[in-house]
Each structure stands twice: as structure tokens, then as C-alpha cells.
Structure 1
Amino acid sequence: MNKFGVSAQTLIAAAFGAAIMGSAFAVPKLLAPEAGAQPIAIQAPPGAPLSFADLIEKVEPAVVSVNVVSTQDLSELGDMDQFFEQFRGMPGLEDFFEQRREQQEQETPRTREARSLGSGFFISQDGLVVTNNHVVERATQIQIVMSDGREIDAELVGADPLTDLAVVRVKEPGPYPYVKFGSSKDIRKGDWVVALGNPFGLGGSASAGILSADGRELGAGSPYTDFLQIDAPINRGNSGGPTFDLKGNVIGVNSQILSPTGGSVGIGFAIPAELAKEVTDTLIQNGRVSRGWLGVQIGDLTPEFAEALGIEDVKGALIADVTTGSPAERAGLKRNDIILSVNGQKVTDSTSTTRLVAKLIANTKNKFDILRDGKPQSISVTVGERPADPNAISPVPGGANPAEPGAPSAVPGKMLPDFGVRLSPMDDATRIALGLRTGDTGLAITEVTKGGVFGEAGFEPGIIILDVNSRPVASVDAFERAIAEAKAANRSKVLLGLRVGQVTSYRTIDIPK
């Protein structure tokens, strides 16, 4: 080493590299330090280990591979249709394959045996293992493979598809090495994490990275989970495996990756330990998770929506629709109500409302503070138990099956040049087709002109306007009165309740000057 802390080999290598790569990639010259200056000391960040070996050696015996055999429905109709296309129009062959296709349609769908793999970890010495629901879904056989190679049959204790968590129990008595849930709240963005699991069936693999972010929402498919985002590489087969902090506590259960290639690109998601422990405890006790159900379709009360409604400093969830026969309807909740709190606990958006309601015990009374027509009030709601598929419940009164969406009312309607839209009252056929209740009113958009307010906002004919600033609009005159009231209140936009197909949503539009 020379007096600058650089070895001779390093200097030779740098000079050689500069010579063969050209000046554009030349290594900068080392400058003599000024008098009294000290060399820059590069130190590892506080808390960064020189090795993760001690941690991995400690926790690895509790991490397992999960091998699953399941049954899968096998339908060849799609493949046959694709195969059939190349013979279309050929005499004889076309008739033959058409008959074969009809025969397959009449046959009972067959099943086949499918094999898959994932990861998991022991959480008790008597053999309870946590993994992902999607790893063991439809399983007929479950086998746990331990780090020492032992293969042990297991059985499902319980699963929760909505959080993608499951618990299985090995059939041989323990004791088994196990790990404990820690707290994901104790680590910060940038802290080290270590993931263990069974990527691509390799088994016993470890990777390290940092907590990239927390509180990630991944859409409607995971309504109850704020994921941890980690950059420790996880791949297919890592599902259900643990993510550890440097103390050996499980701070997350690996569940998903974001990847255009199918392999790790450094964006993985883990279910936080707090939620995982809560759900797994419930699964161990009851075999399932029962969630409270309100029976509403809700959206965020955005600042733009609040501005249109003339309310300030209010956070909550805006009810877009109420399911017929639901606890919400029986309690008297209505479309356009704004939920402010549940049992005194304030909500901030639709996600926080969904999670609060899910934690309520079915068939118990609960206090909902709402804002209706700008006035606060409280409503007592006896929540139900969330159905397996809430979307399967018909929103149409009497359970009627809605017809195909019909054309808007044939009434010519009225053109509003300032808005660039023609509106006409919704007829009964359209109301029924859209799954609305008896007595629901609205205006059908029958024409949109270019350059108008509605055209610039992307509206198209066939959309139904149910209300303006929470006021029902049964006629074009009612629409114009609602606009006049908003103008008189010095508002620059209005909030429209819209029906598109069988979904109610909200949009704001600017009021023409």
C-alpha cells in the first residue's frame, strides 16, 4: 500500500484499463492531498453486517419447502376451437370437427393432477406452518420438506384467500424448530431484510436486500393488505416464505412479485407480520376468517369531489351504491352518504373503511357517523358476515336478472350547448337493464359534441347521470337547477353520480363560465 492507501496493483490495473478503454473511460488521476488533509474513510453504514451467515444459520431450520398436489379442471374446448379454425370452410373436415366440438361441449369436464411448490415456515414446535393460500389452494396432498431433507405429510388447518395466507400442520409429532413474528413497524425504509425460501424448487435459498417501501396497495385483489416492498430477490417458489429482520424475527410473508419477465427484478411484496399473525391466529382457532359486511360500493372522497360538494377538511368514503337486502340498506344508508367514522374511529378513504368494517363481528350493532346532504348524523348498523362472493349478490330488487343493457331512452331530449351534451330522462327499460331500483331516476347522455365540457371529459352516449352534487336529476330542468345552485355558491365544478353498465361511479365536470 502507498501513503494514499492505494495498492500498486490497483494503480497498475487502473492505468492498464485506461489505456485499453480510451480517454472517455480513463480513470481519474490521483491528486496529492493538501497539507494537513486526511484520506477519506469509507465506512459501512451503521448496523450493516459483514455477513448474514449467523442469522441464516439460526433461522434456516424453521424454513421449509411446500410441495403440493392438486386437481385442476381440464377443458380442451379452447384448444379445439383454435385447432378447428384452420379447417373452417373445408368440406367434410369442417363437419367432422364441428361434430367433435359439440361432443366435447356435452362431456363432463375432466380433471388432471397438478403439482406446484412454494415455501413456508414453522411458527410452533408442534408443527404449524404458515404459507400462502395460493400455494395450497385446491390441494389434495401437501408435503413439507425440511432444510435437512426430511419429507413430512401435512394437512390444511385453514386458509384465507383475501389475505393470501394459509396454515398447515405436519402429521408427525414434533418438536420442530420455529420462528416468531416480529413487528414490521420496527423497521424503516432502507433497513436490511433477509428472505428465505424455495425459488424454482431449488430449496434452502437466502437473499438479502432492504425494505424499499411500506404501505403498498396492490389493487382490488388485496383489499385488506398494505404490503411491504422489498428488493431482496424473491422468485416463483418463494411464495409463503418468510422475510426476516436482522434479529431473526419474521416481519413479512412473501406473497407477490412485480416482474415483466417472471423473474425477480428487485420488486417483491410481503404481507406485514402484524396482519399475518392476526390472520394465522384466527385460522388456527377457527379454520377460517369471518369478516363483517356492510353491503356498499364505496370510493374515496377526493379533494376534487369535496370541492364540488362545497365541504372542507373532511376525509371519508363516499357510498356509490347500496346492495339490495344488505345490512346497509336495512340500516338506512344511502347512495351519496359519506362515511366519516366507524365506532368513533375515523376513516380516511375507502380502503380504511373496508378494513374497519372487515374487523367488525357479524351480527353486532355498530355506530357509523356519516355526512348526508352536508349534515352530520349517526346511524346504527347491524353488520352481516361477508359472503364468499359479494359480487354474486344481485343488486336488482327482488333478485331479478337484469337484461342486456338497452339503448338510452328514445325521447329526443334536450341539447345543452354550454356543456356540449344532449340529455333525456332514463326510461324504465334502461333502469331495469342497469340493475337500478324501482323509482331510481336519471338522465341518459344521448349525444356528445366535440369541444364541449362533456366531450373534453371523455363522456360517451349511453352513460346515465343519476345525480348532480348528490341531488337526483329526474329531468333536464332538475339538472339545470343543480348547476344554477352550484354557480350561486361560487363553485367551479359539480360532482356527477354516474351509472355505467351495472357500476356506479363519480366524476367531476367544470361548470362553463
Structure 2
Amino acid sequence: MKKKSLVALSSLSLLIGSVITTLPTYAALPTAVSGQTMPSLAPMLEKVSPGVVSIDVEGSHVSKQRIPEGFRFFFGPDFPSEQVQERPFRGLGSGVIIDAKEGYIITNHHVIDGAKKITVKLNDGRVLNAELIGSDQFSDVALLKVDNVDGLTEVKLADSDTIRVGDFAIAIGNPFGLGQTVTSGIISALGRSGLNVENLENFIQTDAAINSGNSGGALLNLNGELLGINTAILGPNGGNIGIGFAIPSNMAKNLVEQIIEYGQVRRGRLGVHGQELTSELAEDFGYETNHGAFVSKVDENSAADKAGVKAGDIIVSVNGKNIRSFGELRAKIGSLGAGKKVELGLVRNGKEKTVIAVLNDVGQTAKAETLHKGLQGAELENFSKDGQQGVLVKEVSKDSSAAVNGLKQGDLIVGIGRKVISNLGDLRKELDGKNRPLPLNIIRGSYSMYLMVQ
């Protein structure tokens, strides 16, 4: 008689428990056939899997709601015009240990966004508290650190610029909180962009199964080297349909190096505007294929302008590596740090040309509520002019904690106590984990003063 279908995994486990003793004992599968060793990923995974961790986060999302002026009458003149609400949340994700000695773990920004507590579970069962070193929303990369931990396994980074469509790929992560899971597939496409036009995207596409909870996990080659950080999927209901995306390891490496040095990403700017290169544009400008980035405008005095890039140029390579689209150009430049020299391969009037550009600093901003509760409602950015450095208060929301503490738009934060603050990275390091009142040294106009932030 045909058995009824099982409707839940819990039922399946019970069924296995009830019939396991009646099953016959089968011989183990052969390790070799006709003298040839059976292929297996197990030896590689045994070495690399300890380098992929599960991440558990707890925190709160801050939402703001402004009271319409027409309703202020009902609440009275002293009622705040803006209501701030915090909603607690818990989340799961994955991460990859990239430096065992220093305890550095890379993951996605969206995994830890808003987190107040981050814990990491190793493959051997140990659970550790992790510190957020820095993150970048636009590239969706974050760096964590665990201190004084022995026996960590790091995953070696591959050169993601050498990947080819059709190469085998292995994904490791923590889908749906089940625990470490391995799936396999191939590289389906390269240079994917357009999932979110505001972000920097140069994704590796793979059909290795990636699901919710895999974010921040590893995409590996057959040598166990890190090709990319699994980040997103394309699926109607949030499930795997064979279209997953990973941030290339080279891009992640550039961003992590900046976070380690500065506490944030110091994004470089080239200063070009353009679009994807169509076959029609390629023909009009004497180029034989439609791979590259068409430049429609160059900003005056920008890095591109000083390097000699002109409107109508087609950028076909960055640092000797071919690019496929304007989106890929944007992502590669955006992941390189300010001040970096970049070699650009161009096609102009049908002829190839190479120029060197030195990237400008985009200028970074930060929502201060992620730094200290007393700064909630302030928007900050790096400032450097005429030898003066610090953190500029770009905006302060009315009735916010920052406003109550006396912070005003245009204030320049230059220190905490006797500690000099030169940039957001310095400020983040000094404020990290400190919820006590702190003496903030600011310059307002021509005056220097201290504000107690609490």
C-alpha cells in the first residue's frame, strides 16, 4: 500500500526514528571504480569549511514619522514634530574568516545593519562575540573581528578577475538557520549589475543553490579559494531558482583593506558619466564589439579630466583587466580607494589608448546613531580643508538626541577629550561600545568648545 506524503520535516525525522532499525545494512559505496578514485569535494571541504561561520545578530531598526502640521493641534505645541521608534529584530547570516591571526571575518552589510549584538558560531560549535570594524552600504560589505581566539581557519582569496563562465563553484553558508550547508554549481555569468541602481554591483552569477541565510557566505573554486561573497538571489518567493549573486573577491579585498586602515570605505571617484555600450554606439565610434563603458561626459577638474579622458571615449579596461559594462566600471572604481592610481584602457576614434588617473575622494557620510546614542539624528561626513581635518556635522534632525546635546549643523568634531579625531574612522573607533557621556571637542565658527554627549 502506498504511504501518505509527509507534510513536515519533523514528521520525516519521526518516521526515520521509527523504522531505522528495520532497514538492511548496505555495503559502503566503493572509493574506486576500475582502479580510478571516485571524485569527491570532501577533502577540500574538510580543510575549508571551518573558515565559514554562522552569524546571529540582534538589534533594532530606527524609523521616523513626521506629524502632519494639520494634526499638530490635537497634540499640543510642545509635542515633537517627529516621532522616533525602535523596533527590535533578530537575524541570521553567514561569514568568511579571511585572517585567522587578526580574527577578521567578512560578511554583508545587510546582515549586520542595525545590529547591537553580533555573535559568530564556528564550525566546531564555539560561539564568539564579534566587533563590527566597519561596513559599506553601497557595496554591501562588512568586516567583523573576534579577539584572542585560537584555532581559526582562514580562507585564501582567489583572483576573481581570472574567473571564467563555466568554472565550477561551491557555495557554503547557513541557509534558513539550518547550519553549515554546501551546494555546488558553475559560474553562470560575470559582471552582473542592475539589481539596485544605487549600489555598486559587479556580481558573479552562479547556479549553486543560495538561499536566505547564505548572505555573507563563501563562493569557492575547486581549490577551496574564495571567489566571492554570496550576497543576493533572484527568486519570486525568496527561494533558490538557480540564480545567485556574489561579490567578487578582488572587490571585497579592496574594500576590506580600506575598512581596516580607515574604519570605513574611502571611495575613489573618477568623474565620468555614461551608459552601457550598445552595438549602435560601438559602430558609431569605431569599436568592433559592445563590451566596454561609453563616456558621455567628463567632470571638470576630475581625475578623469586630469588624465585626459574625453566625452566619446569608450573605456574597455581597468588596470589591464577588460570590463564589460559601465556598471562594472562604476563598481571597480567605487571599490578602489581615494588616491589610488588607475590605468584605463580607452578606444578613441577607433584607436586604443592608455591613460593613468589618480582617483579623487568621494567624501563619506555616516548616520551617527550607529556610533553613539547621544549622536542620534546627526549626519556626519569627513572634512579636510586648508590643513584642518575632522568630522563635519552635515545635518541635525529637530528634537533628536544630537540636537538636545547641543550639536548644530556646521559643527566640526576634532576630538574626544584629548584624543584627536581626523575622520569618521577615528570617531568610530573612539565611540565604539562607549555609551557613557563623552566630551566632544568641536569647532563652531572661530570658537573651540566641548559638548558633553550622553
| Band of TM-score, shorter chain | 0.5 to 0.7
Whether 1:72 aligns to 2:61 is: yes
Q: How far has the Cα of 1:323 moved from its partner? A: 5.2
Alignment CA distance shift 1:183-1:222 (3 Å): farther
AA aligned to 2:281 is: F
Secondary structure of the corresponding residue to residue 123 of structure 2: coil
Alignment CA distance shift 1:256-1:369 (3 Å): closer
Secondary structure of the corresponding residue to residue 205 of structure 2: strand
Equivalent residue, structure 1, for 2:192 = 217
Equivalent residue, structure 2, for 1:287 = 263
Percent identical residues: 34
Deviations 1:47-105 (CA, angstroms, capped at 9, x unpaired): 9966544444433333211111233113467xx99xxxxxxxxxxxxx99994799987
What is the root-mean-square deviation of aligned Cα atoms in Å? 4.4
Whether 1:108 aligns to 2:77 is: no
Equivalent residue, structure 1, for 2:396 = none
- Checking the alignment, whether the CA contact within 8 Å between 2:65 and 2:82 is kept in structure 1 is no
Equivalent residue, structure 1, for 2:176 = 200
Match of 2:141 among 161, 165, 186: 165
Q: How far has the Cα of 1:298 moved from its partner? A: 1.2
Distance 2:166 2:239 in 1: 23
Alignment CA distance shift 1:65-1:328 (3 Å): same
Alignment CA distance shift 1:173-1:60 (3 Å): same
Q: How far has the Cα of 1:152 moved from its partner? A: 1.0
Q: How far has the Cα of 1:300 moved from its partner? A: 3.1
Q: How far has the Cα of 1:321 moved from its partner? A: 4.2
Q: How far has the Cα of 1:377 moved from its partner? A: 9.4
Q: How many correspondences in the alignment?
A: 328
Deviations 1:27-48 (CA, angstroms, capped at 9, x unpaired): xxxxxxxxxxxxxxxx99xx99
Alignment CA distance shift 1:321-1:265 (3 Å): same
Deviations 1:294-321 (CA, angstroms, capped at 9, x unpaired): 33321134331344x4645487544334
Q: Which runs of 5+ in 2 are unaligned?
A: 1-31, 366-454
Whether 1:142 aligns to 2:131 is: no
Secondary structure of the corresponding residue to residue 53 of structure 2: strand
Q: How far has the Cα of 1:274 moved from its partner? A: 3.3
Question: For residues 222-261 of structure 1, what are the structure 2 equivalents within 5 Å?
Answer: 225-261=201-237
AA aligned to 1:116 is: G
Equivalent residue, structure 1, for 2:100 = 125
Deviations 1:400-427 (CA, angstroms, capped at 9, x unpaired): xxxxxxxxxxxxxxxxxxxxxxxxxxxx
Deviations 1:1-23 (CA, angstroms, capped at 9, x unpaired): xxxxxxxxxxxxxxxxxxxxxxx
AA aligned to 1:207 is: V
Distance 1:364 1:51 in 2: 42
Q: How far has the Cα of 1:255 moved from its partner? A: 0.8
Q: How far has the Cα of 1:285 moved from its partner? A: 3.7
Alignment CA distance shift 1:49-1:280 (3 Å): farther
Equivalent residue, structure 2, for 1:265 = 241
Q: How far has the Cα of 1:210 moved from its partner? A: 1.2
Whether 1:63 aligns to 2:70 is: no
Distance 1:252 1:162 in 2: 16
Distance 1:57 1:187 in 2: 23
The normalised TM-score by structure 1 is: 0.52
AA aligned to 1:61 is: P
- Checking the alignment, whether the CA contact within 8 Å between 2:231 and 2:247 is kept in structure 1 is yes
Distance 1:201 1:101 in 2: 47
Alignment CA distance shift 1:195-1:74 (3 Å): same
Secondary structure of the corresponding residue to residue 67 of structure 1: strand
Secondary structure of the corresponding residue to residue 109 of structure 1: strand
Q: How far has the Cα of 1:238 moved from its partner? A: 0.9
AA aligned to 1:139 is: A
AA aligned to 1:113 is: P
Secondary structure of the corresponding residue to residue 232 of structure 2: strand
Distance 1:165 1:131 in 2: 6
Distance 1:376 1:232 in 2: 38
Q: How far has the Cα of 1:155 moved from its partner? A: 0.5
- Checking the alignment, whether the CA contact within 8 Å between 2:65 and 2:83 is kept in structure 1 is no
Stretch moving more, 222-231 or 148-157: 222-231
AA aligned to 1:72 is: H
Distance 1:194 1:164 in 2: 21
Q: How far has the Cα of 1:120 moved from its partner? A: 0.9
Distance 2:350 2:223 in 1: 51
- Checking the alignment, whether the CA contact within 8 Å between 1:331 and 1:380 is kept in structure 2 is yes
Distance 1:270 1:201 in 2: 19
Question: For residues 289-308 of structure 1, what are the structure 2 equivalents within 5 Å?
Answer: 289-307=265-283
Deviations 1:192-223 (CA, angstroms, capped at 9, x unpaired): 4332221122222x232211413141215486
Distance 2:306 2:157 in 1: 41
Q: Which runs of 5+ in 1 are unaligned?
A: 1-42, 82-94, 390-513
Alignment CA distance shift 1:371-1:189 (3 Å): closer
Match of 1:156 among 132, 142, 150: 132
Deviations 1:441-484 (CA, angstroms, capped at 9, x unpaired): xxxxxxxxxxxxxxxxxxxxxxxxxxxxxxxxxxxxxxxxxxxx
Secondary structure of the corresponding residue to residue 275 of structure 1: helix
- Checking the alignment, whether the CA contact within 8 Å between 2:345 and 2:352 is kept in structure 1 is yes
AA aligned to 1:178 is: E
Alignment CA distance shift 1:303-1:164 (3 Å): same
Q: How far has the Cα of 1:342 moved from its partner? A: 7.9
Equivalent residue, structure 1, for 2:447 = none
Alignment CA distance shift 1:278-1:111 (3 Å): same
AA aligned to 2:56 is: N
Question: For residues 85-484 of structure 1, what are the structure 2 equivalents within 5 Å?
Answer: 99=74, 106-126=81-101, 127-184=103-160, 189-204=165-180, 206-219=181-194, 221=197, 225-307=201-283, 309=284, 311=286, 313=288, 317-321=293-297, 336-340=311-315, 349-351=325-327, 353-354=329-330, 357-358=333-334, 362=338, 383-388=359-364
Equivalent residue, structure 2, for 1:483 = none
- Checking the alignment, whether the CA contact within 8 Å between 1:339 and 1:368 is kept in structure 2 is no
Structure with larger Rg: 1
Distance 2:175 2:145 in 1: 22
Q: Which is richer in strand?
A: 2
Stretch moving more, 149-158 or 290-299: 290-299
- Checking the alignment, whether the CA contact within 8 Å between 2:255 and 2:335 is kept in structure 1 is no
Alignment CA distance shift 1:49-1:169 (3 Å): farther
The normalised TM-score by structure 2 is: 0.58
Secondary structure of the corresponding residue to residue 108 of structure 1: strand
Alignment CA distance shift 1:333-1:123 (3 Å): closer
